[in-house]
A = this chain, B = another copy of it.
Amino acid sequence: GNPLVLLAGPCVLESYERSLYIGKTIKEITSRLGIPYVFKASFDKANRSSYNGYRGPGLEKGLKWLQSIKDELNVPVVTDIHNETQVEPVSKVVDVLQIPAFLSRQTDLLYTAAKSGCVVNVKKGQFLAPADMKNVVKKLEEAGSEKILLTERGASFGYNNLVVDMRSFPIMRSTGYPVIFDATHSVQLPGGAGTSSAGNREYVEFLARGAAGVGVDGFFMEVHDNPEEALCDGPNMVYLDKLEDLLKDLIAINEITKKKINK
């Protein structure tokens, strides 16, 4: 019977002011709607299709900004990490360490993240069957963690395309941990723009409502006040001014679904 949680923010920390503005606006929305909010932004995009892509402010400056935003908004913060050495400094600032999908089977990264005491949110690899996430969970549990989130963000479907197999929600939920739907990365077309990934923002709302119908515990969305200007993942980010309407629908659908998935 828990309310849906929302992990949201810009793809990457662009300027401090813009990141704060986006987070603040989302905080106001989620407060009105009565759902918990976790601010999300990356300090470094470590696997852009090409060098030309903006990577972010980097670890040091990024963590300062995340700390400020956390203090300013009084919300927990999630960010993604890319190797074991980042766990220690990042875990001092954030509440949720996120394991990127490509890295979802890197044993040492999982182990170190689990040891940090933070919540660990693992994005299911595009190459992984939902049932195989039980092995990921086991790695985290054996490192002593019981604060785990599992996120669906699409599975490889031929080339330059992802498909969301919604059977993954009940399958991953059977591990006993909450399941999140990453509604914006799931509509990416990886490599689809030649030197960067394309995406279909138009499907975000459809798939998000679908996931709410199937039954999830929360949503992950990248949100921007002007995705056309965004320095990363513009083609799939949600417009900030459309977020509230979408969340209202998700909450309403969840009211129906949650009676079924919690029994």
Give the B-binding residues of A (Cβ under 8 A).
46-51, 55, 82-85, 102-103, 105-108, 125-132, 135, 138-139, 142, 155-161, 163-167, 169-170, 187, 190-191, 195, 200, 202-203, 205-207, 209-215, 249, 252-253, 256-257, 260
Contact = CB atoms under 8 A, between A and B. Distances in A.
A126 B167 CA distance: 17
Contacts of A252: 256
Nearest to A85: B85
The complex is assembled from copies of this chain, and their number is: 4
A106 B161 CA distance: 20
Nearest to A249: B256
Nearest to A100: B106
Nearest to A252: B256
B214 A50 contact: no
Contacts of A170: 202-203, 206
A221 to B, nearest CB: 16
Contacts of A195: 135, 138
A169 B126 CA distance: 22
Contacts of A83: 83-84
B106 A253 contact: no
B132 A49 contact: yes
Contacts of A205: 260
A138 B213 contact: no
Contacts of A107: 46-48, 51, 55
A159 B127 CA distance: 8
B213 A126 contact: no
A143 to B, nearest CB: 9
Contacts of A169: 206
A125 B156 CA distance: 11
Contacts of A206: 166-167, 169-170, 214-215
A236 to B, nearest CB: 13
24 contacts: A46-B107, A46-B108, A47-B106, A51-B142, A55-B107, A102-B125, A103-B103, A125-B127, A132-B191, A135-B195, A155-B163, A156-B156, A157-B157, A158-B163, A164-B165, A164-B166, A167-B200, A167-B207, A206-B215, A210-B210, A210-B214, A213-B253, A249-B257, A253-B257
